Chain A
Amino acid sequence: MHAIRTEGLTKHYSVGFWRSRPYVALDKLTLEVARGEVFGFLGPNGAGKTTTLKLLMQLIFPTSGRAWILDRPAGDVAMRRRIGYLPENPTFYDNVSAEELLGYFASLFGYRGAERARRVAGLLDEVGLGAERRMQLRKYSKGMIQRVGLAQALINDPEVVFLDEPMSGLDPIGRRDVRDIILRLRDRGATVFFSSHILGDAEAMCSRVGIVAGGTLVASGALAEMVPFRIRGWDLVLAGVMADAAAALSARGAAATLIGDGRYHVVLPATASSEDAVALAKAANAELVSINPVRDTLEDFFLAHVQKSAGRTFD
């Protein structure tokens, strides 16, 4: 049983007033997401991420192709009892409080009375808005609205959660909170499908990703398979390096750059090992402040695919 499945999902818009021409927002997207996965749907702005989510939510209708959620057609209203959705840059109603908004949404799922109140209070606490629950939404900041959006997406304890750019508008603490919530959702068996152009988020959370560019899915798969994570070298920071020792570093094949006050940023080639790095610091009689492997990141992969799909190279 799949959480999400699409088959040749395509959306064309017509643009232009007098002589309208088709604009391909999404082209033959075929995708499968298993239950319990955290699936990152990645791509630059305008790649078709939001279009895909809107098609899955039936906010727009496909030009061709089909989509299923929990093995039910995307338009099935009964199925929506089992899913949650956070739109991109959500807005809600100005004159109601977060508590009232969530109460309203909870009632649409059939929650009543004490159970509804308990769910609303629990979720507002979970997203960190417990203290502001009675404040009208017009007074909320962008980050707070994003938290309300996340809470409303989870109001029905969904089996599949769709999050469109869930980190947008959040400060570092907010991003960490959202990440924790997504991982908690995964731990209790929910499927999370989220779109993002911030690759670090996907690296930290996703079991699988799909990369979309120019309306086409250019790659999908397990993160570990797609990104080889081979070590391309080592990043070191050394402190208390004497001037003569700095010259010796270069002689050993390390590229050393002075940060200031005896601190050096040193790059070692991939052929070196972590032990070599430690030995280097020892030989220079310096303090090893930090050591980090330089890896291929999702970002490299992403950039390579986007460039390839755009038919250009950046030499």
Chain B
Amino acid sequence: MRTTALVALHVFRDSVRDKVLYSIVAFAVVLMGVSYLIGQLTAGEDLKIIKDLGLAAMSLMGLFIAVFIGIGLIAREIDRRSIYAVLAKPVRRHELLLGKYLGLVGTLFVNLSVMALAYYVVLAYIGTTLSPAALKAAPAPPTDPRLMLAVLMIALELSLVTAVALFWSTFSSSALLSAGFTVALYIAGQFGADLKNFEHVVESPAAGIVGRALYYVLPNFAAFDIKTEVVHALPLPAGYLAMTALYAIVYIAALLVASVMIFARRDFK
């Protein structure tokens, strides 16, 4: 446990200093600022657009962090052989793997917090520029606390993406390939609902079964997207949020167990 925590702390220290990370966070903040300008172009809808764009920016930039730095955790470490010295220390392979995962998730959460703070600052500023009538007409106040639910869902989604990235890295020998697989799975996972209904739109029953099987096997990233509900102040059942969180936890746990099992027997040629 102590070893895992030490590894996590080291990963956090190493990755928060990554220049790529700074540029991603800076880009997200700039994007949120720009969304203000875009909002100006569409009268009446600006607050909703800014809220939506801000959450999308957070999600996209978080994905970049999870994939590019997440892949570096294991794949690049094997590529560059920096893992050799660590594994010769009194560190069990699963401790290293879990420490790496927790360290990156920690980095992700810190960055999401920075982005969320910038997001609320932009929204609060916009709130001061709106007329009382416009504020009254908006479905939710500018700094709606419910936006944090969407941020939380993004955090869970990215934790799952990180687990996927880690999983690929445990047996792929190329960092680029791992990144490619992770992004491919992320995109496929956005079509969860379509896969579920695949059997209703195709005539072949076999294709329908394959679609449904894929729906159950692939991580359903679409489930974490509650941007529309939050931005338009639509009802969100607590049960849905709880089930989605549980889904993420179970899926992450399964991926980590599989990763640990593969990693335990891996030869570092």
Contacts and interface: CB of A to CB of B under 8 A. Distances in A.
Q: Say whether A associates with B.
A: yes
Interface of A: 13, 54, 57-61, 77-78, 80-81, 83-87, 89-96, 100, 104-105, 107-109, 136, 149, 152-153, 162
Contact of B85 (A58, A60, A149): A149
A81 B90 contact: yes
A90 B267 contact: no
A97 to B, nearest CB: 10
A104 B6 contact: yes
Contacts of B89: 80, 105, 108-109
Given A87-B81, A90-B81, A104 B88 contact: no
Contact of B90 (A61, A86, A109): A109
Nearest to A104: B10
A24 to B, nearest CB: 14
Given A60-B269, A93-B14, A108-B3, A83 B88 contact: yes
A54 B81 contact: no
A92 B265 contact: no
A13 B269 contact: yes
A60 B91 contact: no
Interface residues of B, number: 24
Nearest to A11: B267
A108 B91 contact: yes
Given A58-B87, A89-B81, 16 more contacts: A60-B269, A61-B265, A77-B92, A85-B84, A87-B81, A87-B84, A91-B82, A93-B10, A94-B14, A95-B18, A100-B13, A105-B89, A108-B6, A108-B91, A136-B17, A162-B88
A94 B91 CA distance: 21
Q: Which of B14, B15, B265, B268 has the most CB of A within 10 A?
A: B14
B90 A59 contact: no
B269 A96 contact: no
Contact of B14 (A91, A95, A109): A95
